[in-house]
Amino acid sequence: MLFALLLMIADVTINVYAATLEAAEFGSAIAVQAAFLGFIVGSMPMLWFAPEQESAAKGE
């Protein structure tokens, strides 16, 4: 999970930087990548704390 988050942050950052340098035409790709990054960031708390909630519900 953490690797996916770091990978998407790096990918979006590099692509935004390249777009500001006008090195490449990305069109709507940056918007899609940013949306996916938002999905990953929003999912992280639920995925990170899910095992703890399951074990607490079982009484462990």
State the Cα–Cα distance between residues 30 and 13, nearest whole angstrom: 9
What pLDDT is recorded for position 15?
A: 85
Q: Compare 2 and 1 and report the one with higher pLDDT.
A: 2
24 in the Ramachandran plot: left (φ > 0), alpha (ψ -120 to 50) or beta? beta
Q: Which stretches within 21-59 are classed as H helix?
A: 29-58
pLDDT value at residue 30:
85
**pTM value > 0.75:** no
Please check whether residue 1 is in contact with residue 48, taking contact to mean a CB–CB distance below 8 angstroms: yes
9-45: pLDDT as tens digits: 898 888 888 888 887 777 778 888 889 889 988 988 8
- Please check the confidence at residue 60 and state whether its pLDDT lies above 60: no
Please tell me the distance from the alpha carbon of residue 13 to that of residue 40, in angstroms, as a whole number: 15
